[in-house]
Amino acid sequence: MAYWLFKSEPISYSFASLASEPDRTTSWEGVRNFQARNFLRDEMRVGDKVLFYHSNTETPGIAGIAEVVEAGSPDPTAFEPGSKYFDPKSRPEKPTWYQVKIRAVRAVEPLLPLSKLRESDELKGLELLRKGSRLSVQSVAPEHWRSVMRLAGIEEE
DNA sequence: GCCAACGTTGGC
DNA sequence: GCCAACGTTGGC
């Protein structure tokens, strides 16, 4: 099993938004970065765990845990001319962009703020903490995942 | 292929 | 609002 971090601006879609979906799932669509696309298309597997991170907000930080419930599939918004994610270069027979489906597992309450993550020696090397890190879908090493769980006070089986 | 200009991200 | 870092675009 692998670990990931997804960024979202809570003003547009928060962890609470995900948790209040009828089945607590959503399709993570609209990613338009090739490195992130490669993760979505090639590397994510059902059962992988996801840190749900709130960016560009008053207190950025980890707001919840989610899991991958469907592996990568073509992102339909790229084919919709009306969509803000429309990309005419992506064709159904040769898609450029991919999505996965995730499900909310549990909230991190209170939110684990970025400032706390920065204080942790154990999290040195976490992509999120790298200066200039902008990738919206990131890989998380298992030892970093365990450190985050500890900081969040979450016991895992 | 180089690289300047530009738009976006996202912490602060 | 500021601004550094980054990805993309397009002229050459």
Which among A21, A17, A49, A56 is positioned nearest to A156, based on CA atoms? Answer: A49
A8 and A137 Cβ atoms separated by less than 8 Å = no
pTM of the model: 0.94
A14 touches strand B (CB under 7 A): no
The token pair that represents A5 in the structure block: 């971090």
A88 touches strand C (CB under 7 A): no
The mean per-residue pLDDT over the stretch A3-27 comes to: 96
Mapping DSSP to helix (H, G, I), strand (E, B) and coil, where does residue A53 land?
Answer: strand
Give percent above pLDDT 90 in chain A. Answer: 86
pLDDT in tens, A43-83: 999 999 999 999 999 999 999 999 999 999 999 999 888 88
Cα Rg of chain A (Å, integer):
15
Q: How confident is the model at residue A94 (pLDDT cuts 50, 70, 90)?
A: confident
Write out which nucleotides of chain C lie closer than 7 A to a protein Cβ: 4-8
Alpha carbons A27 and A100: distance in angstroms, whole number: 6
Predicted pLDDT at A91: 84
A60 touches strand B (CB under 7 A): yes
The token pair that represents A2 in the structure block: 């692998």
Predicted pLDDT at A157: 57
Average pLDDT, chain A: 94
The mean per-residue pLDDT over the stretch A77-98 comes to: 87
Checking if the pLDDT of A136 tops 80, the result is yes
- Scanning every strand, the nucleotide with its C1' closest to A59's CA turns out to be B11
Predicted pLDDT at A41: 95
